[in-house]
Structure formats: C-alpha cells, structure tokens
Amino acid sequence: MQRTFPLILCFIFGILGIIPFIVPHPVVQHTDEFLRNDLLRILAAFALVLGLGSLLRVHFDKIQHRRENWQYSWVLLITFFLTSIIGLFGGVAGTGPLPTRIGNFSFDIQTIYLNVEVPLGATMFALLSFFMASAAYRSFRARSTEATLLLLAAFIVMIGILPLGNQISPHLPSFAQWIMDVPNVAGKRGIAFGIALGSLATALKILLGIERSWLGGGE
C-alpha cells in the first residue's frame, strides 16, 4: 500500500493534468481550475514549510554536534529569524505594526534586500567572470577541426555583438547574428526534439508506474 497509493495518486493527477488541454468542457475546466488554484497552492505552502523545517533542522543539528563550519549556521539562523520577523510584522516597506525605523536608520525588508542581499548576490556572481576567464584561457585549445570552428565562432560572436564589431566591419554583427540564428538554432532544435521525446517517454513511464525510482526504496 505504501508504494501502490503514491502510484495511483501519480496516475490520477497526471491524467487530470493532461485532460484539460484536450477537453474544453466547463466541468473539466472548472475541476482543473480548482486543482491548480486551490489544491496546488496548498501543496506548495506545505512544501515551503517542509523545506524551511528541513533547513532549520539541518543547521540546528550542525550546531548541536559542532560539525564542520558550524559557526556559519548561527549566521543563517539569526538572519533567518531576524528577517522573518521583520518581513512578517514590518511589512514590505515598513508599513506593518513592527516599527522598522530608528531615526534616519530604516531596516524594513526592502531596505535589507537592497542593501544586503543585492550586493552579496552580485558579488558572488561577479566572481564567476574571473573563473570563466581563467578556465577559458586554460581549456580553449584548437586541438581539432571542430574545436577550431567552435573557437572561431566564439570569437566572431564575442566581437560581433559589441559596438567594436560594427566598427571593424558592418558585416560582422550580421554574421554573428547569423551564427546565432542558423547554426545555433539548428543544433538547439535537434537537442530540443531529443529532450522533448525523452521527457515524454519518461513522463509516460512515471504515469504508468513503469519508472518507480522516484518512490525511493531502491527497488
């Protein structure tokens, strides 16, 4: 029963997800609307609680057992509770019951977001460019005809999309655009067909209970 019931649920709701795309009858459409707008959102809320609960449990456990880098878990927990309280009771821009301003210093959720999360996120991503430059220098070698073609195409697109490309030759941006429009699309479309067929086959296998690895248990 532990395995059969999820399989039955998966089959029923999988079919219910497909039917509204084919049958325009109001009963079907209203059922679909209820499933999506009410049921799915309730499930998503549970998933959010489950995810947050799991996150907190992992970090409490890390602190309790003094696992590697356990100090950082305190940072996560303190910021989690602090921002949650400010967000829940302070409102989006300090309009809630909790005061989020001391003199000129405001700490409402939008201010925290713009002054903490934005610079931190941007910094993390900015580092990527340095690693990419270093990795490109080390790994981009014209070892074969295919690799040489790839390298040339990359150079043309990299220069062609910039104003410099237009200054070198007005044909260069058009050629770069052609590379994106034709060879790129041809390759991507082939990959997309492969992925679509693969997804369809996997979806059918899951709906019909042939593929059961998602149930866990290692059967």
Partner 1 sequence: MKIVDLMLKIDRRIIYLILAIVVILPLIIPSAQHVRVMAPVQKLYTAVDTIHPDKALMIDFDYDPQTQPELEPMALAILRHAFKKKIKILGLSLYVQPLGLAKAALDQVTGEINALAKTNSDSVIYGRDYVFLGWQPPPIVPILGMGESITNVYKKDFYGNQTDTLPLMKQIKNYNNVELLISISSGDPPLWWVSYAQNRFGLRVGVGCTAVSASDYYPYLQTGQFSGLMVGMKGAAEYEELVEKDLNIHKRRKASEALPSLTYAHLVMIVFIIIGNIGYFIKRRQK
User: By the criterion CB under 8 A, which residues form the site for partner 1?
Assistant: 21, 29, 33, 36-37, 40-41, 44-45, 48, 91-92, 109-110, 113-114, 117-122, 124-125, 129-130, 132-134, 136-138, 140-142, 151, 155, 158-159, 161-164, 166, 170, 173, 177, 180-181, 184-185, 188-189, 192
Closest CB to partner 1 among residues 50, 210: 50
Structural contact between residues 109 and 92, judged by C-beta atoms closer than 8 angstroms: yes
Nearer to partner 1, 33 or 61 (CB): 33
Of 81 and 140, nearer to partner 1 (C-beta) is 140
Nearer to partner 1, 5 or 21 (CB): 21
> CB 20 → partner 1: shortest distance, Å?
9
Burial environment of residue 173 by CB neighbours within 10 A (0 to 12, 13 to 18, 19 or more):
buried
* Cβ at position 26, least distance to partner 1 in Å: 11
Amino acid at the residue 17: G
Compute the CA torsion angle 160, 163, 167, 172 (nearest 10 deg).
Answer: 20
For partner 1, which is the closer residue by CB, 170 or 218?
170
Query: How far apart are CB 192 and partner 1 at their closest, in Å?
Result: 6
Start-to-end Cα distance in the chain: 15
Which segments of the chain does DSSP mark as H helices, in order? 4-22, 26-34, 40-64, 70-90, 109-112, 118-139, 145-160, 163-168, 171-181, 183-207
Residue 39, SS3?
Answer: helix
CB of 202 to partner 1, least distance (A): 17
- Beta carbon of residue 71, minimum distance to partner 1 (angstroms, whole number): 25
Structure tokens of 70?
């356990």
For partner 1, the closer CB: 81 or 193: 193
Radius of gyration of the chain (CA): 26
Cβ of residue 44: shortest distance to partner 1, in angstroms?
5
The tokens for 212 are 């059961």
* Contacts for 165 with CB less than 8 Å, ≥ 6 apart: 159, 172, 173, 176
